Amino acid sequence: MTTPKDDKLATANPTGLQPSPADANRSEQAASVLAQQPGEVLTTNQGLHISDNQNSLRGGSRGPTLLEDHILREKIMHFDHERIPERVVHARGAGAHGYFQVYKSMNHYTKAGFLQDPEVKTPVFVRFSTVVGSRGSADTVRDARGFAVKFYTEEGNFDLVGNNIPVFFIQDAIKFPDLVHAIKPEPHHEIPQASAAHDTFWDFISLTPESAHMIMWVLSDRAIPRSFSMMEGFGVHTFRFINESGKSSFVKFHWKPVLGIHSLVWDEAVKLAGKDPDFHRRDLWETINRGQYPEWELGVQIVHEEDEHKFDFDLLDATKIIPELLVPVQIIGKLTLNRNPDNFFAETEQVAFHPGHIVPGIDFTNDPLLQGRLFSYTDTQLSRLGSPNFHEIPINRPIAAANNNQRDGHMRQTIVKGRVSYEPNSLGGGYPMQQPSDQGGFVSYPQPMEGEKMRVRSESFADHFSQAALFWRSQSAWEKDHIVSAFLFELGKVEVDAVRERMVSMLTQIDKFLAYRVAEGLGMAAPKPPSGAENVKRTNELEMDPSLSIANTRKDSIIGRKIAVLVANNVDKASLAVCKALEAEDAVIRFIAPRLGEIKNSEEEFIKVNYSLPTVGSVMFDAVFIPGGQQSVEALCADAHAVLFVKEAYKHGKAIAAHHNGAMLIAQAARSAGIEHGEFHGPGVITLPSGVINDSFIKNFIGAIAMHRFTERPGLDAIVA
């Protein structure tokens, strides 16, 4: 992780980017009005100084408000129109500024300027989001997550608009409205919010076999990430790289989190929606504020054009991955987020992404889902941001010069001088004029085209189940258990028996054992394959791919991990040496006590309490440490919140450590859980009953935190917490 000592980009304007030449047309006086620097007087939007912002203009002290109060009218009018339409999907999001650096020139594959010089830091703005819920929904719902990156390159903006899941539900964009209508709250009563666990969604999915692969990802733990900085990102579609000589290669984009891929468990996700619905937003904001800048490495899978058809799947099919065992991911650069937005609405809410925003050296393929998105995004921005001039909003402005003959329109900001607004022209000296492709002008890749006009799906898109089965086979035992549990929750909410039966029947096409487990959990008869199943197209490329399992992620860092330290008065000072050791590894220590304020340690020194026990839960932390101190531990053992805290942490497989008599609280939690012999044991439970804190104890605790979760603990399902 990057620290605050690293270089930061200049922040000369609200985007954190150098102003474009178009901004020069804005007068210094207008800019000063909009700046709103501390110490300036309160004004109207027109710059009029306001002497009284507390009272409307009235006819007498108790008389009617006067229509001529232009200050009131302007203020209320602005307030009335402050809310813009939220995004149809990806409405709830969080964003941050940062930069991207390529590790080495990619000129062999692409002429894209930002992928050439390792010394160049390309500014970026990144927005993460949930897909289904409205702006007011919770962060931790089961859902795909948007992962959209706007690169402000010298050749124009490049938007890599992706998700944390590499595939999608559908193959053709014409089905996108149907998918979204099915997954959104049902129109007759607007229920449920931010959830796919209802009849209309599963009715659609059970009738749409191409969704099988995506469903497996969405019902895995990938759909409930621990944080934005611990989830992958994918461009989803297959794009093209084009080099200076015009040679084209197919490319898939990957974002690999430096901290590894880690997730919540479902019980945590549900409780966090109540404890802290802003859990992911808050984590991103606080992580950047601490200077522990989130990082991802950019990887690419490159397929030479002559190899387009060598696979048993179609590269243009957005419901398919290229397995990493077949085409390894080349790591080519790093993304670092180092600055929070100054204003959520102006930046995170108004940022407008578009997969059609590309630069020379990157181009599209004939992916039918991508082709539809190229139309949809511009159309959506016109509706949501109210103007074809949304590109002039500061967060959307390119750092490259924008010169064209577009004029006017609602909320136009740039003042372009001169009489000419057309091309070709002679009255303006011919400017702005086209730039030849050999001098940097964009030209689309000359892909050969042939065929008749028709509405038909390519036969190469017909295998809907082989990769879904590959994903299932590649999961560890505990990941498979979680997927089954997710199906039981989701389909258990479905009220129409026929929909449930049809969906479980579809699962037999992925894996019979999966289908039987789900049917048994739902109290259904053994499922039968759907009619015609024997004729379904299948391929058998790989038995499994380790990259598809979270169990294989890196587990060697505790950077940014939040450690709950449970304390009360007279906590043993010597025990707290653990806290310094954890902070030295860049973990985040939070003291939690029965009440807020301060407590005293065993040497009468004050410790500031970060949270009171009634306001938090173990679901908000990655590990628990219980220091010694007889009086402190006894107070915690008598506190139901503290007992539940430890019990939940154990149930969720988190690292738990205790020094000296701190183990009393672990025993109390075990007894309250009905554990025989009254103790929690197993991997990740670390105690030091006597003696001083030593290196071995600290090393074991740090190693346990880095493991993230211990799913093999005995009896977890029997614990009620």
257: confidence class by pLDDT, cuts 50, 70, 90: very high
Whether the pLDDT of residue 698 is over 80: the answer is yes
Query: Which is catalytic among the residues 157, 163, 340, 661?
Result: 163
Query: Which is catalytic among the residues 90, 198, 391, 659?
Result: 90
C-alpha to C-alpha distance for 312 and 536, rounded to whole angstroms: 14
Over range 410-434, report the average pLDDT.
90
C-alpha to C-alpha distance for 390 and 382, rounded to whole angstroms: 8
Q: Which two tokens stand for residue 16?
A: 């954190």
Q: Is 535 a catalytic residue?
A: no
Q: What is the 3-state secondary structure (H, E, C) of 412-439?
A: CCCCCCCCCCCCCCCCCCCCCCCCCHHH
Contact 564, 590 (CB under 8 A): yes
pLDDT of residue 110: 98
C-alpha to C-alpha distance for 575 and 538, rounded to whole angstroms: 59
C-alpha to C-alpha distance for 710 and 716, rounded to whole angstroms: 10
All structural domains of the chain, each given as residue ranges with its CATH number in brackets, are 93-396 (2.40.180.10), 562-718 (3.40.50.880)
Tens of pLDDT, residues 544-591 = 999 999 999 999 999 999 999 999 999 999 999 999 999 999 999 999
Contact 17, 152 (CB under 8 A): yes
Over range 49-74, report the average pLDDT.
90
Whether the pLDDT of residue 1 is over 90: the answer is no
Tens of pLDDT, residues 91-116 = 999 999 999 999 999 999 999 999 99
Whether the pLDDT of residue 28 is over 60: the answer is no
Whether the pLDDT of residue 703 is over 70: the answer is yes
Tens of pLDDT, residues 467-490 = 999 999 999 999 999 999 999 999
Tens of pLDDT, residues 587-616 = 999 999 999 999 999 999 999 999 999 999
25: confidence class by pLDDT, cuts 50, 70, 90: very low
Residue 575 to residues 104, 631, 632, 646, 659: CA-CA distances in angstroms? 47, 14, 12, 18, 6
Contact 209, 175 (CB under 8 A): no
State whether residue 146 is helix, strand or coil: strand
C-alpha to C-alpha distance for 447 and 366, rounded to whole angstroms: 10
The whole-chain average pLDDT of the chain stands at 92
pTM: 0.92
Over range 529-550, report the average pLDDT.
88
Angle between helices 497-507 and 477-492 (to 10 degrees): 160
User: DSSP string spanning 495-512?
Assistant: --HHHHHHHHHHHTTT-H
Contact 163, 146 (CB under 8 A): yes
pLDDT of residue 39: 61
Share of the chain above pLDDT 90, in %: 77
Over range 35-46, report the average pLDDT.
74
State whether residue 221 is helix, strand or coil: helix
Q: Which of 232, 314, 323, 224 is nearest to 270 (CA)?
A: 224
Residue with more model confidence, 31 or 524: 524
Whether the pLDDT of residue 375 is over 90: the answer is no
Over range 375-404, report the average pLDDT.
90
| 598 strand-pairing partners | 608
pLDDT of residue 345: 96
pLDDT of residue 376: 85
Q: List, in order, residues 6 or more apart from 451 with CB less than 8 Å away.
A: none
Q: Is the peptide bond before 627 cis (omega within 30 degrees of 0)?
A: no
pLDDT of residue 679: 80
618: confidence class by pLDDT, cuts 50, 70, 90: very high
pLDDT of residue 403: 86
Kindly report the CA angle at 665 between 659 and 666, in degrees rounded to 5? 80
Q: Which two tokens stand for residue 453?
A: 């006009």
pLDDT of residue 438: 84
Contact 343, 122 (CB under 8 A): no
Amino acid at 210: E
Share of the chain above pLDDT 70, in %: 94
User: 155-169, 205-219, 237-251, 660-674 — which is least confidently predicted?
Assistant: 660-674
| 250 strand-pairing partners | 240, 303
User: DSSP string spanning 274-306?
Assistant: HH-TTHHHHHHHHHHHTT-B-EEEEEEEEEEGG
Q: What are the two backbone dihedrals, phi and then psi, of residue 537, each rounded to the nearest 5 degrees?
A: -70, 135
674: confidence class by pLDDT, cuts 50, 70, 90: confident
Residue with tokens 């991911």: 329
Whether the pLDDT of residue 35 is over 90: the answer is no
| 234 strand-pairing partners | 163, 254
The pairing of strands 655-659 and 685-688 is parallel
pLDDT of residue 38: 55
Q: Is 391 a catalytic residue?
A: no
Q: List, in order, residues 6 or more apart from 51 with CB less than 8 Å away.
A: none
Whether the pLDDT of residue 31 is over 90: the answer is no
pLDDT of residue 469: 97
Over range 57-85, report the average pLDDT.
89
Tens of pLDDT, residues 300-312 = 999 999 999 999 9
Amino acid at 262: H
